[in-house]
Amino acid sequence: MLRRDESIFPTIEVSGVRFRAADAKWQRTGLVGFVAFVLNRDLRIEATVRRTNSGVLRLSYPAHRDQFGLQHFAVHPVHDRARVEIERQVLAHVRATETLR
């Protein structure tokens, strides 16, 4: 098992998670709801919770498309390790406090 060097991979702490379920008609499209949380006590992030075609819950971060159709994210994890840990903590809180369909 690899050891994590804390100087390279600092601890990720998610707190203050708030979730609001989407309307049933939107849930049929895969949008489960809206979530806001605080990352490392310093940054508030708003995202959506979506269910993939394979049934997995994922966070989706805000983005816009430019005139060429390219997507630009307002905020997002910079690497997969961060994405996995943020999703794990946020979704654990959502599952503990909500009944997800």
**Domains located in the chain, CATH noted:** 14-97 (3.30.1120.40)
pTM here?
0.83
Six token digits for residue 100: 């997800």
- Arithmetic mean of pLDDT, 21-45: 95
What does the pLDDT look like over 42-73, one tens digit per residue?
999 999 999 999 999 999 999 999 999 999 99
**Of 6-20, 25-39, 73-87, which gets the smallest average pLDDT?**
6-20
Q: How far apart are the first and last CA of the chain?
A: 36
